[in-house]
Structures are given as structure tokens and as C-alpha cells.
Amino acid sequence: MLVRSLENLSGRKNLLAFSAGVDSTALFFLLLEKKIDFDIAIVDYGKRENSILEVAYAKSLAQKYQKSCFTTKVQLEDSNFEQNARIERYKFFKAIIHEDGYENLLTAHQLNDRLEWFLMQFTKGAGTVELLGFEVEERRENYNLIRPLIDISKKELLEYLEKNQIKYFEDESNKDPKFKRNRFRETYANQLLEEFGTGISKSFDYLQIDKERLFTLKILKQIDELYILEKSNDDTENLRAIDKIIKRLGVMISAKERQEIIRQKESVISHKIAVAIMDEKIYIAPFKSAVMEKNFKESCRAAKIPPKIRGYLWSKRIDPKAIG
């Protein structure tokens, strides 16, 4: 069974996003087999009866195998549940990473997830970069997001668990047709992988190589969470670069927000991230509202720092002359 990116896990501080489901349970035991050190984190959304049992199982595994287990309980409304759950989940992981110094966040996304994403993007009208949003490794704000199971199908993971008589939980919401991803999974992805799994996996490898040839992120300067990118004459290229950096900062942008970025040239995404497209550069940083000293504002104007970026510079005591 091909578990990816192990060379980046050995000797590092790793946090596994755990759910007690098929994928994360399989990854838990595969990491044990490979003698990779890691701890686990689990979120209880309180939506299902099994959630209490899943958290208890996570704690029991952590105790048995001498791992730290971080837990939290989150209450969310049903409206936009999947999106909000993802936001809260990664907020929780990010806080743990920041407080305890983890270098890598491991998620148990597998080949079925990758194909589901591909098909959903394909039907919305996406380019190569967007179609291949699921990568083996991604650099985020202050950690690496790594998906070691990206080439392994759900069927293989189930066979591994059953062969080794490993307990896991089934999330019944994964079959709820009200979620778009579930409909794509049951109607298209599972059947395609059942019949053409090997070819699909190889195609993703070739497409990833092509993607890297087509798109190179050009960062001119980075200071803390401030990014200055080279601006292209192609709006699509600019949006791809902006999207990648904003994702590093922990925010996913919608199609509507992408349109706003190009139209306004200077905007704030999700009340969190400031983006400014200038004549030759693109500035991206966490948005900070601040009362700044007059001399500092003058320095920003002289250095041609976009207004929505200035609050971040002020909060971090970054000299405008260092980035202008």
C-alpha cells in the first residue's frame, strides 16, 4: 500500500486529523506500522449518536499507543454545515499547531476524495489548477498539510482494516444525498474507481506534473504573513496565485469573492484577508484595522503600500521601506 510523503514525516512533529472513520483509522495504524511519530486531534460536532463513542475511541487509541489526543466540541447550525464544520475544524487544528509546535498536519483524504473533488470542479467549469486542488502536500500559514493516502482507494483502506481486524466507525452522514459530495461519490466516483482505479491514479500523477509546468507561484517577498507576488497580465494567473496564498492563510475563497478581487483591485476576504492588486505587484496579508501614527502612514504612502495592507504592517511593526 503506497503511503505518500513519509520522508517528510520521519523525525518531525506530526498531528493527525482523526475522526475514527475508515480513512483516519487506517492512516493511524499505517503510521504506527511505519514507526512515524504523531499525535491526534478530533472534533465532536454533536450531530450523531456515535460522536461520543468516536471521541472515546480516539482517546482509548491515544492512551494505548502513548499519543496525545486533542478534543473539542463544536455546535453548528445545519445551514452550510459542511463549510462551517471545515472552518471550525481547521481553526482547531491551527490553534494546536501554533501552541504545541507541530510541523505537519496529516489528513486522511484518499483517492475517492480526490476524484470526487475533480468531478465536482469539472462540472462547475474549472481549469487545470482548480481541478487538481487536492495535492499530496500544501504549504499553509505555519505548517505543511500532507495527505499520505492520496493514491489509495477507500476499498483498499477497508480491506486493510478488515484484514487486520481494526475497529472503525461509519459516519452515516456520508450517505446523505442532501450533500453534493455524497451524490457525486455514490453516482460517479465509486463506480469509476471500482473499474478504472489504477488508470485514474496514474492520470492524477501525470496531471500533477503538467500542473506544475503550467503554474509557478512567484513570491517576490514574504515577511511573516505578508506576501508580495509578481503580478501577471493574465487575471486567471493572478487569481490562481491569490487563491493559493489565501489557502495558506487558512481561508477558502468562493467564485463570487474571486470576481470581487478582480473588480475592486483591493478587498478584504471573509473579513480576514486583505488583497490588493497593484500595477506590478499583488499584496496579501491578514486584515488588521488599526489607528496608525501619521509618520507611519506617510511612510506607507511613500512606499506605495496599499491602504488595506497597512494595518498588518503596523501591527507587526514592519517598516514600509522594507517592502515598498
How many angstroms separate the CA atoms of 101 and 179, rounded?
Answer: 35
Does the domain at 6-211 match CATH 3.40.50.970? Answer given as: no
pTM summary value? 0.80
262 Cβ contact list (under 8 Å, min separation 6) = 235, 238, 239, 277
Cα 213 to chain center, whole Å?
A: 22
Q: Quick one: average pLDDT of 96-124?
A: 94
Q: Are the beta carbons of 319 and 305 closer than 8 angstroms?
A: no
Q: Where are the domains of the chain?
A: 6-211, 219-322
| 170-208 residue pLDDT tens | 877 677 777 788 888 888 999 999 999 999 999 998 988
pLDDT band for position 292 (50/70/90)? very high
* Residue 3 to residue 138: CA distance in whole angstroms: 16
Average pLDDT over the chain reads 90
Tell me the pLDDT band of 3, cut-offs 50, 70 and 90: confident
- Confidence (pLDDT) at 324: 63
d(CA 146, CA 293): 42
- Confidence at 319, pLDDT banded by 50, 70, 90: very high
Alpha carbon distance 89, 167 (integer Å): 23
